[in-house]
């Protein structure tokens, strides 16, 4: 969490969540989505993260800058890969990411329903 209460996840955490290599995610940082994903991406989506300094004393990254992604960017990536997957728009080496995006979407919907129906 950032000082302004923005929820974020590290580059490695985001890559792990999406089941993709962190080097791949880092390579597209600062750019829009890969060309194959553009038709499925939210307008204006940039995949670049934000550099932040880690201040948590118990972190091995304390006093170092790391790349983080906002929850909005992560949601957009999940949405983009899921749409591309269901429309056969992924390259063979991206299909596993699309499958993971579908699984994440299902889990997020289930969690939202569970939370909204709790008394």
The percent of residues above 70 in pLDDT, for the chain, comes to: 97
pLDDT, residue 48, reads: 78
| Token pair of 91 as six digits | 């390259």
pLDDT, residue 62, reads: 86
Annotate the chain with DSSP letters as a single string: --TT---EEEHHHHHHHTT--HHHHHHHTTS-S-GGGGGGSPTT-----EEEE---TTSTTTTSEEEEEEHHHHHHHHHHHHHHHHTT-S-GGGHHHHHHHHHHHHHHHHHHHHHHH--
Residue 3 lies in a domain: no
Residue 2 lies in a domain: no
Residue 90 lies in a domain: yes
Residue 103 lies in a domain: yes
Domain count for the chain:
1
Residue 1 lies in a domain: no
pLDDT, tens only, 32-47: 778 888 899 888 777 7
Residue 101 lies in a domain: yes
Provide the pLDDT confidence category of residue 1 given band limits of 50, 70 and 90.
low
Domain containing 70 equals: 8-117
Residue 30 lies in a domain: yes
Residue 44 lies in a domain: yes
Higher pLDDT, 42 or 114: 114
Q: What is the average per-residue pLDDT within 41-65? A: 85
């Amino acid at each position: 969490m950032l000082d302004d209460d923005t929820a974020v996840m590290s580059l490695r955490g985001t890559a792990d969540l999406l089941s993709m290599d962190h080097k791949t995610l880092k390579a597209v940082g600062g750019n829009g989505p890969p060309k194959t994903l553009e038709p499925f991406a939210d307008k204006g989506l940039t995949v670049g993260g934000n550099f932040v300094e880690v201040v948590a004393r118990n972190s091995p990254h304390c006093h170092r800058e790391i790349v983080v992604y906002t929850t909005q960017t992560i949601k957009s990536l999940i949405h983009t890969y899921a749409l591309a997957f269901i429309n056969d728009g992924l390259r063979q080496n991206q299909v596993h990411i699309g499958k993971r995006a579908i699984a994440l979407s299902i889990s997020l919907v289930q969690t939202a329903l569970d939370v909204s129906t709790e008394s």
